[in-house]
Amino acid sequence: MDETQAIESRNKLVEFIDAIVQQENLDAANVTLMGFSQGAILSYAISLNNPEKIKNVAILSGYPEAKIIGDFEQSKDFLNLNFFVSHGTEDVVLPIELGRMGDEFLKSLNINFEYHEYRSGHGIVPQNYYDLMDWIKRF
């Protein structure tokens, strides 16, 4: 992943969120991000830099990439954030050790989250989907 492009994408996505919330008169306090792989990496970066704009974050087969997250303010209020993090134990694209980084990282920030591992590769298995849908219904 090209870091410069990823940071540009992160910033453009934040602008898009602001614009679509305003344009469609959406509930700005109830924005959910969901990303798979590189999209999950961007979802970490967007939500941690802008916790006031995001409520729920679904991380599917991704990890918190420090270079893309950047120097975010760890003193910000993260109480509004809820994360669903899932990863395949047999993922050869982004090994499970990367996914497990999210578990420790979110704990260190005292962010509300649930973490799931599935016996799968770099993809979404049915149980992952069902657990994600249950999580979405709760938030």
CATH number for the domain spanning 98: value is 3.40.50.1820
Predicted local confidence at residue 77, as pLDDT: 87
Which amino acid, one-letter code, is at 58?
A: A
Supply the pLDDT for residue 110: 94
Question: What is the predicted pLDDT for the residue at 1?
Answer: 65
pLDDT at 41 over 70: yes
**High-pLDDT (> 70) share of the chain, %:** 99
CA distance 63 to 138: 23
Mean pLDDT along residues 26-43: 96
pLDDT tens-digit series, residues 55-96: 999 999 999 999 999 999 888 889 999 999 999 999 999 999
Q: Which domain holds residue 35?
A: 3-138
Q: What is the mean pLDDT of the chain?
A: 95
- What is the rounded distance in angstroms from the CA atom of residue 124 to the CA atom of residue 98? 17
Beta strand ranges found along 61-126 (DSSP E): 82-88, 112-118
Q: What is the pLDDT of residue 75?
A: 84
Place of tokens 């969901």: 34
- Specify the pTM: 0.94
Q: What is the pLDDT of residue 99?
A: 96
Q: Please check whether residue 102 is in contact with residue 85, taking contact to mean a CB–CB distance below 8 angstroms.
A: yes
Total count of domains within the chain: 1
